[in-house]
Chain A
């Protein structure tokens, strides 16, 4: 799998899953543009790790909740590169509350960052994908399953998944593929925002047939595959990375166990 000469934008590309995706594309030869929200040092650190792999890496600060900031980001990309081959809508935020405790501010913020920004980024990116391209949206099992204090994010991810199907059809004639990579809980710093249980990974591991937590690199590998020519005929699909977790009923895997891969 080679992405030599390709230009990839990864939103939220400096930490967690986004960082793994950034470094995967850099390893495969793509020049990377890392969008970050507020932590410049972390973004610069990831960019340097990418540069160490022999590609160019550039960081752009943008609050994706604000459409004009998205416009500024793409204006800069258009000016500096004039094109884009890959867009990964990875940036996510959200208010960790039950549905009945959500206020409209938290709802709007979550929907704007997780769903509206993906639409606006795809609209601008598609214009820069003159020779076709690939868009991958990062989702989670909370789009279909009910998880504690995950209402706003879960609904926003459901919107993102529906949006993916519409974009996949509308952009197919332009040679642009749009798909989703979805996951159960991935072992990142962000996971701590949604649990007060310091032992969360243990039941997650026990209940996952594959016998371990999903790692950011598991996501990055599938994202890269979807952006490769090998995935040319995969359009508007949701690829779930969860080690089989969402297929099981509670208690089933505790009895049958599983081996890590």
Chain B
């Protein structure tokens, strides 16, 4: 499963909206994610991919496409 598909599953599970359209241009706000949802998504992503997300680094991430790209970058940076 690709990073994008895994992230999509996590987001859908946490915002509890199975019908959402996971467009790269969509924001968490578009998905009606509240602040607790966002925290839970970040924690789930960290656990799933064994990475650590630095909140300050997310400041430049504006949408889901950017979020997936950020996660892919963190996975690539993991020590082998």
Chain A residues in the interface with B (C-beta under 8 A): 38-41, 63, 95, 105-106, 109
Contacts and interface: CB of A to CB of B under 8 A. Distances in A.
Contacts of B1: none
Contacts of B36: 95, 105-106, 109
A191 B75 CA distance: 34
Contacts of B55: 38-39
Contacts, number: 16
Which 10 residue pairs are nearest across A and B when measured between Cβ atoms?
A95-B36, A63-B43, A106-B36, A109-B36, A40-B52, A105-B36, A38-B42, A38-B43, A39-B55, A38-B55
Nearest to A37: B43
Interface of B: 16, 36, 40, 42-43, 46, 52-55
Contacts of B43: 38, 63
A38 B45 CA distance: 12
Contacts of A38: 42-43, 46, 52-53, 55
Give the interface SS of chain A, mostly helix, strand, loop or mixed.
Answer: helix
Contacts of B46: 38
B8 to A, nearest CB: 19
16 contacts: A38-B42, A38-B43, A38-B46, A38-B52, A38-B53, A38-B55, A39-B55, A40-B52, A41-B54, A63-B43, A95-B36, A105-B16, A105-B36, A106-B36, A109-B36, A109-B40
Contacts of B40: 109
B2 to A, nearest CB: 25
A84 to B, nearest CB: 25
A63 to B, nearest CB: 6
B46 to A, nearest CB: 8
B53 to A, nearest CB: 7
Contacts of A39: 55
Name which of B36, B42, B43 has the most chain A CB atoms within 10 A of its CB: B36
A63 B44 CA distance: 10
